[in-house]
């Protein structure tokens, strides 16, 4: 079950008209926090992301399952099942035995998948798969949902990053 704070942040994103992926990002963030505080582990950052996406779908975020051919059939069906579960009312409690087994399996995994380095590597890899036009469109869309104060803060952060990178060359 996601934390109340996570649910609230995702709901705020939804009210602000942000994309379902942005809303789901709150659940992914929560998973990384859980791994860092030692609640459980994950083999790879992708596993933590997959857990977060599944939680988001089950919590009612209207994040559609991937199209055919984009991911394995097993992953797609799992995502579709989670999506349907989130769109209807809970009819019965999840199996305690199954939940416990999953949790114990995750407890045996490492915590390095949530390190800043691992997350950075994952996000850079995903960004490389996009075209320059896609990256530009995503950036413009992100800027459109920010307040002037948030845009200023982002611009300052970008300037600091550029300065730090220039100093490193």
* Residue 140: burial class (beta carbons within 10 Å; 0-12, 13-18, 19+): exposed
* CB proximity list for 164: less than 8 A, separation 6 or greater: none
| 92-143 pLDDT per residue, tens | 888 999 999 999 999 999 999 999 999 999 999 999 999 999 999 988 988 8
| 37-46 pLDDT per residue, tens | 999 999 999 9
89 DSSP 8-state letter: -
pLDDT at residue 94, as a whole number: 83
Q: 3-state DSSP call for residue 68?
A: strand
| 49-105 pLDDT per residue, tens | 999 999 999 999 999 999 999 999 999 999 999 999 999 887 788 899 999 999 999
pLDDT at residue 127, as a whole number: 93
Residues 11 and 60: their CA atoms lie apart, in Å, by: 10
- The residue behind tokens 């799992």 is 78
Q: How sure is the predictor about 169, in pLDDT bands with cuts at 50, 70 and 90?
A: low
Name which of 97, 58, 62 is nearest 78 in CA terms: 58
């Amino acid at each position: 079950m996601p934390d109340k704070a996570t649910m609230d942040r995702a709901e705020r994103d939804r009210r602000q008209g942000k994309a379902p992926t942005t809303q789901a990002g709150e659940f992914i963030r929560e998973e990384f926090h859980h791994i860092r505080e030692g609640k459980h582990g994950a083999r790879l950052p992708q596993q933590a992301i997959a857990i977060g996406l599944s939680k988001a779908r089950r919590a009612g975020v209207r994040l559609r399952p991937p199209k055919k051919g984009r991911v394995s059939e097993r992953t797609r069906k799992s995502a579709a099942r989670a999506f349907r579960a989130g769109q209807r009312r809970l009819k019965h409690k999840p199996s305690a035995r199954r939940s416990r087994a999953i949790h114990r399996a995750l407890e045996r995994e490492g915590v390095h998948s949530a390190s800043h380095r691992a997350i950075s590597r994952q996000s850079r890899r995903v960004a490389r798969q996009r075209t320059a036009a896609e990256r530009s469109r995503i950036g413009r869309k992100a800027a459109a949902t920010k307040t002037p104060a948030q845009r200023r803060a982002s611009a300052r952060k970008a300037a600091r990053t550029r300065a730090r990178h220039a100093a490193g060359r």
